[in-house]
């Protein structure tokens, strides 16, 4: 499961883990915030035995701060430390962190070496193709440096930082990195359904596939992929199963962040959980009005009763 800010919190991770995700990751966590012991930052490291092994992703640009942050998250129970080298958000790159690191190979060397020395668990790094589309993909040079500095695996999201999410990711970059490295290479980018996961593995030879957006609203994708690999029909959850999972997700969220915040969080998720089902668009208004457990139940009851007679989705 890919790290996704605002999405891959503990409740979300527990849901996808239950569906068969091999490895889950926290969202990116500020190394500076961790070293300054900010309460909110530290809360992102909270974990549960059922989701293990857990990768914790940290971001920052100062090697000594990143090294200290790695120690903090390992003490807090991280089984793997992952370094973010792809985030395109302005507030991150302006500090030299995230995707900005791809422009600074020497800094990458210092930073990965420092974290490697401090980190007693496996270390992974997640990169993009490079900074801008008119650059050569610096990912090759950066990937070699990362391996030489002792990282245990690398994830490649083959889009340039300035591209954000536009156009398709270029999987041939994953294939090329796989050819030049010895450590495992995890491919990422645009795996939005089970057959694309198999296609990525076939086309790139990657050792693992990381899935982000394709799991939002469809955590079943982690069951669907092994089934597709065995040539079975795509597993489609019954409405009752879909409903039960939504409720479970909401219950986890409520105990994690309180009912009000959980309701807000659930509004967007519900749109994703019902995407592609009949008439879901007509019910969006009701979904976005969810305030608490009762309004969630009534919106779900209304919607699922409405579509009950439709053919299997
Ligand atoms: C809402 C959102 C938040 C994200 N947050 C992070 C993050 O915290 N750290 C990170 O490395 N990548 C982050 N990403 C990028 C994803 O991990 C992944 O690389 C990207 O979505 C491409 O994979 P996909 O096509 O399977 O979604 C985020 C993506 C989305 C959509």
Q: pLDDT, tens digit, for every residue of 289-312?
A: 888 889 888 888 888 888 876 655
pLDDT-derived band at 135 (thresholds 50, 70, 90) equals: confident
Name which of 58, 181, 177 is nearest 128 in CA terms: 177
Query: What's the mean per-residue pLDDT of the chain?
Result: 94
Closest ligand 1 atom number to CA of residue 215: 26
| Chain centroid offset of residue 211 CA | 7
Write the residue with the smallest CA distance to atom 15 of ligand 1: 4
**pTM higher than 0.85:** yes
Distance between CA atoms of 202 and 180, rounded to whole angstroms?
17
Whole-number pLDDT of residue 302? 87
pLDDT digits (tens, 9 = 90+) for 217-266: 999 999 999 999 999 998 889 888 999 999 999 999 999 999 999 999 99
Rounded distance from Cα 236 to ligand 1 centre (Å): 25
* Beta strand ranges found along 68-122 (DSSP E): 80-85
Whole-number pLDDT of residue 69? 98
Name which of 175, 118, 183 is nearest 148 in CA terms: 183
DSSP per-residue string spanning 125-140: EEEEEES-TTS--THH
pLDDT-derived band at 5 (thresholds 50, 70, 90) equals: very high
Closest ligand 1 atom number to CA of residue 84: 11
Closest ligand 1 atom number to CA of residue 159: 22
In this structure, the number of other CB atoms found within 10 A of the CB of residue 50 comes to 10
Write the residue with the smallest CA distance to atom 1 of ligand 1: 4
Distance between CA atoms of 161 and 22, rounded to whole angstroms?
27
Distance between CA atoms of 219 and 224, rounded to whole angstroms?
9
For the segment 199-208, the average pLDDT, to the nearest whole number, is: 98
Q: Do 111 and 66 contact (CB within 8 A), yes or no?
A: yes
Write the residue with the smallest CA distance to atom 28 of ligand 1: 4
Q: Do 221 and 193 contact (CB within 8 A), yes or no?
A: yes
Whole-number pLDDT of residue 312? 55
pLDDT-derived band at 284 (thresholds 50, 70, 90) equals: confident
In this structure, the number of other CB atoms found within 10 A of the CB of residue 306 comes to 13
Whole-number pLDDT of residue 311? 57
Rounded distance from Cα 158 to ligand 1 centre (Å): 12
Rounded distance from Cα 186 to ligand 1 centre (Å): 14
What are the Cα distances from residue 130, in Å, to 30, 33, 185, 311? 22, 26, 17, 46
In this structure, the number of other CB atoms found within 10 A of the CB of residue 260 comes to 11
With pLDDT > 70 as the criterion, what percentage of the chain qualifies?
98
Write the residue with the smallest CA distance to atom 19 of ligand 1: 157
Closest ligand 1 atom number to CA of residue 86: 11
Q: Given the DSSP bridges, would you call strands 54-59 and 29-30 parallel, antiparallel or unpaired? A: parallel
Closest ligand 1 atom number to CA of residue 191: 26
Q: Which residue has the higher pLDDT, 164 or 223?
A: 223
Q: Is the peptide bond before 53 cis (omega within 30 degrees of 0)?
A: yes
Query: First and final CA of the chain: distance in angstroms?
Result: 25
For the segment 71-79, the average pLDDT, to the nearest whole number, is: 98
Distance between CA atoms of 33 and 213, rounded to whole angstroms?
26
**Residue 39: CB partners within 8 Å, gap ≥ 6?**
none
Rounded distance from Cα 268 to ligand 1 centre (Å): 16
Active site residues: 87
pLDDT digits (tens, 9 = 90+) for 255-275: 999 999 999 999 899 999 999
Residue 199 pLDDT greater than 90, yes or no: yes
In this structure, what are the phi and psi dihedrals at residue 194, rounded to the nearest 5 degrees? -60, -40
For the segment 160-174, the average pLDDT, to the nearest whole number, is: 93
Write the residue with the smallest CA distance to atom 3 of ligand 1: 4
Rounded distance from Cα 223 to ligand 1 centre (Å): 21
pLDDT digits (tens, 9 = 90+) for 88-128: 999 999 999 999 999 999 999 999 999 999 999 999 999 99
Write the residue with the smallest CA distance to atom 30 of ligand 1: 4
State which of 24, 157, 193 you would mutate to test the pocket of ligand 1, scoring each by most atoms of that ligand within 8 A of its C-beta: 157
pLDDT-derived band at 80 (thresholds 50, 70, 90) equals: very high
Name which of 232, 165, 172 is nearest 192 in CA terms: 165
Distance between CA atoms of 173 and 240, rounded to whole angstroms?
41
Q: Which residue has the higher pLDDT, 108 or 167?
A: 108
Pocket residues: Cβ below 6 A from ligand 1: 2-7, 27-28, 57, 84, 86-87, 126, 157, 188-191, 211-214
Rounded distance from Cα 58 to ligand 1 centre (Å): 14
């Amino acid at each position: 499961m890919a790290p996704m800010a605002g999405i891959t919190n503990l409740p979300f991770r527990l849901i996808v883990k239950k569906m068969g995700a091999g490895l889950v990751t926290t969202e990116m966590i500020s190394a500076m915030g961790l070293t300054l012991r900010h309460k909110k930052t530290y809360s992102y490291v909270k974990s549960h035995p059922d989701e293990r092994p857990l990768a914790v992703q940290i971001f920052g640009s100062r090697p000594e701060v990143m090294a200290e942050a790695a120690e903090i998250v390992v003490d807090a129970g991280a089984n793997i430390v992952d370094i973010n080298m792809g985030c395109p958000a302005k507030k991150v790159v302006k500090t030299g962190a995230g995707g900005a690191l791809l422009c600074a190979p020497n800094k990458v060397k210092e930073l990965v070496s420092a974290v490697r020395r401090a980190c007693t668990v496996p270390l992974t790094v997640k990169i993009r193709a490079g900074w801008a589309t008119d650059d050569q993909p610096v990912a090759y040079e950066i990937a070699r440096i990362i391996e030489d500095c002792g990282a245990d695996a690398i994830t490649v999201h083959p889009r340039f930082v300035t591209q954000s999410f536009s156009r398709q990711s270029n999987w041939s970059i994953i294939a090329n990195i796989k050819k030049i490295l010895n450590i495992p290479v995890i491919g990422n980018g645009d795996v939005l359904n089970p057959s694309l996961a198999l296609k990525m593995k076939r086309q790139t030879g990657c050792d693992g596939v990381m899935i982000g957006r394709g799991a939002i609203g469809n955590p079943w994708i982690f069951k669907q992929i092994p089934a597709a690999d065995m040539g079975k029909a795509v597993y489609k959850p019954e409405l009752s199963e879909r409903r039960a999972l939504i409720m479970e997700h909401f219950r986890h969220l409520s105990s994690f962040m309180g009912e009000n915040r959980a309701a807000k969080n659930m509004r967007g998720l519900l749109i994703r959980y019902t995407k592609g089902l009949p008439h879901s668009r007509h019910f969006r208004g009701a979904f976005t009005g969810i305030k608490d457990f009762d309004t969630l139940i009534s919106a779900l009851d209304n919607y699922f009763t409405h579509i009950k007679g439709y053919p299997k989705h």
